[in-house]
Amino acid sequence: MAANTISAPATAGEISGRPGIREALQWFTREKQWVNDIHLQLCRVPSPTFLEQQRADWFAAQCRSLGWHAGIDRAGNVLVSLTPAPQGPLIFLTAHLDTVLAPRTKDDISLGPDGEMFGPGVSDNGAGLAALLAIARAIRSTPAPDGLWDRLVLVANVGEEGEGDLCGMRYLCGQTELASRIAVFLVLDGAATDHITCHALGSRRFEVSFTGPGGHSWSDFGIGNPVHALNRALAHFVDERPLDPRATPKVSVNVGLIEGGASVNAIAPSARAKIDVRSESNEKIEQLVIALHAAVVHAEEVENARALGGRVAARIREIGCRPAARLAADAPLLAVLRAVDGHLGIRARLDCASTDANIPLSLGIPAVSIGAGGSGGGAHTTAEWYRPDGRDLGLKRILLAAAMLLLDTADRPDAPR
């Protein structure tokens, strides 16, 4: 790594006026159309969870064309840096590759007359990925002090949505040779700049299934019925411990999917449901998990006690776990973002959400999730939209924060967390 000869400045304003950084910040306003165009291109490359390879390959190729080193790790994450093997405390700037829904054809991603973009994934997380590419090009298009960006790693990671269960971020934090040198994660997710997610909302997800012999609704009536047992378990779980949405810490439960049976006049041989439990408190989540297991055991016992033959069997399988965690109020990372927001005139609130930041925060690595600029809505639907107005402000925020973090950790092998 080239030695960084610049000492950490006192203010965001002082950094933003430095040669190289000043030109990079100006680039975002000058090159709005390029950013919009690359955003459209990337959203037209389908990338549903577990099937991100096509977009990962495309993203890596784009970064190489801009003069960066880009590779894909064993989890499928794209890692991008200016040097083949960056050294020292690393600043990770990340955005997830996957989307809940994927375009079937390129025409599923469309543009309105005012530049608004429509289609699955255009905001979540087309906005974040477009920001990474804009940062990559801005850095390579403008002069910079020697070594300033050498410890910046851009990552387009897999598995953030749904049952991906943050698998890409888990790999980055736990299984790569870079993990021990990550000083900070700055996660880009969605559009709006009005929030800083520094409190990780925890969740655990389960698939509950009941199986039995199945049979005719009349001639086999009386055998164990998986559908009846499943519904009894769900009702008991929800009714046994009523939850107040106004309580602190807040807790939520949701049965998001129920399946079973093939005909109105057939006893189903199987039935299953997927359940999501969330809270700001890992302890509260664990209490609900215990209650869920008890409800399933109770339902199995009741159904088999009533059955004249053909018993049911229950199974609970955990399909997701996102730990709750919180960034310390006095964390240097939060101070940097507050300083940048003050300089740019951004008013952002601290909030709690489930993002890629959950994993590093749970491991004691400083992390926040922020929007990449512009505005968006309709996430996880075919009616998702993104509007680029104001995107350059979000991009300036990201680049300036990254520069401050790099300078703050310069020549410090054990950057504070």
Rounded to two decimals, the pTM is 0.91
Per the CB < 8 A criterion, the answer to whether 224 and 300 are in contact is no
Model confidence band, residue 3 (pLDDT cutoffs 50, 70, 90): very low
| Res 186: pLDDT | 98
Closest CA to 406 of 111, 26, 82, 158: 82
> Are residues 266 and 398 part of one domain?
no
Is the pLDDT reported for residue 412 higher than 60?
A: no
Model confidence band, residue 143 (pLDDT cutoffs 50, 70, 90): confident
pLDDT digits (tens, 9 = 90+) for 348-391: 999 999 999 999 999 999 999 999 999 999 999 999 999 999 99
> Are residues 155 and 65 part of one domain?
yes
| Res 81: pLDDT | 97
| Res 115: pLDDT | 86
> Are residues 341 and 316 part of one domain?
no
Residue 92 lies inside a defined structural domain of this protein: yes
> Are residues 187 and 110 part of one domain?
yes
Model confidence band, residue 407 (pLDDT cutoffs 50, 70, 90): very high
> Are residues 256 and 234 part of one domain?
yes
> Are residues 206 and 346 part of one domain?
no
| Res 110: pLDDT | 95
**Residue where one domain finishes, among candidates 301, 322, 343:** 322
Higher per-residue pLDDT: 179 or 30: 30
pLDDT digits (tens, 9 = 90+) for 197-251: 999 999 999 999 999 999 999 999 999 999 999 999 999 999 877 788 888 899 9
Percent of the chain surpassing pLDDT 90:
88
Count of domains forming the chain:
2
| Res 1: pLDDT | 30
> Are residues 243 and 383 part of one domain?
no
| Res 243: pLDDT | 80
> Are residues 182 and 103 part of one domain?
yes
Residue 417 lies inside a defined structural domain of this protein: no
Residue 2 lies inside a defined structural domain of this protein: no
Query: Of the given ranges (178-182, 271-275, 347-351, 399-403), which has the lowest mean pLDDT?
Result: 178-182
Model confidence band, residue 66 (pLDDT cutoffs 50, 70, 90): very high
Residue 90 lies inside a defined structural domain of this protein: yes
Is the pLDDT reported for residue 401 higher than 70?
A: yes
Is the pLDDT reported for residue 316 higher than 80?
A: yes
Structural domain for 142, as ranges: 12-200+325-408
Is the pLDDT reported for residue 8 higher than 70?
A: no
Residue 170 lies inside a defined structural domain of this protein: yes
Q: Which long-range contacts (CB under 8 A, 24 or more apart) does 69-75 make?
A: 73/171, 73/172, 73/176, 74/171, 74/175, 75/157, 75/158, 75/159, 75/167, 75/168, 75/171, 75/172, 75/175
Distance of CA 379 to the CA centre of its chain: 13
Mean pLDDT of 315-319: 97
Mean pLDDT of 254-269: 96
Percent of the chain surpassing pLDDT 70:
96
> Are residues 167 and 35 part of one domain?
yes
Mean pLDDT of 295-319: 97
> Are residues 175 and 163 part of one domain?
yes
d(CA 96, CA 161): 8
Mean pLDDT taken over the chain: 93
Residue 264 lies inside a defined structural domain of this protein: yes
> Are residues 29 and 165 part of one domain?
yes
The answer for residues whose C-beta is within 8 angstroms of residue 319's C-beta and 6 or more apart is 163, 165, 205, 206, 207, 274
CATH number for position 268: 3.30.70.360
> Are residues 190 and 62 part of one domain?
yes
| Res 415: pLDDT | 52
* Residues paired with residue 208 on neighbouring β-strands, in sequence order: 273, 316
Model confidence band, residue 414 (pLDDT cutoffs 50, 70, 90): low
Distance of CA 360 to the CA centre of its chain: 12
The answer for residues whose C-beta is within 8 angstroms of residue 4's C-beta and 6 or more apart is 145, 146, 147, 148, 150, 406, 407, 410, 411
Is the pLDDT reported for residue 304 higher than 80?
A: yes
Cis before 304? omega within 30: no
pLDDT digits (tens, 9 = 90+) for 12-33: 999 999 989 999 999 999 999 9
Identity (one letter) of the amino acid at 146?
Answer: D
pLDDT digits (tens, 9 = 90+) for 68-123: 999 999 999 999 999 999 999 999 999 999 999 999 999 999 999 888 999 999 99
**Residue where one domain finishes, among candidates 299, 322, 345:** 322
Higher per-residue pLDDT: 260 or 412: 260
- Reading the block at residue 187, the tokens are 């996660």
d(CA 324, CA 321): 10
Model confidence band, residue 417 (pLDDT cutoffs 50, 70, 90): very low
Residue 415 lies inside a defined structural domain of this protein: no
For 97-114, the DSSP string reads --BSS--SSGGGSEE-TT
**Residue where one domain finishes, among candidates 291, 322, 353:** 322
Query: Of the given ranges (137-146, 152-161, 306-315, 350-359), which has the lowest mean pLDDT?
Result: 137-146
CATH number for position 117: 3.40.630.10
Residue 5 lies inside a defined structural domain of this protein: no
| Res 7: pLDDT | 41
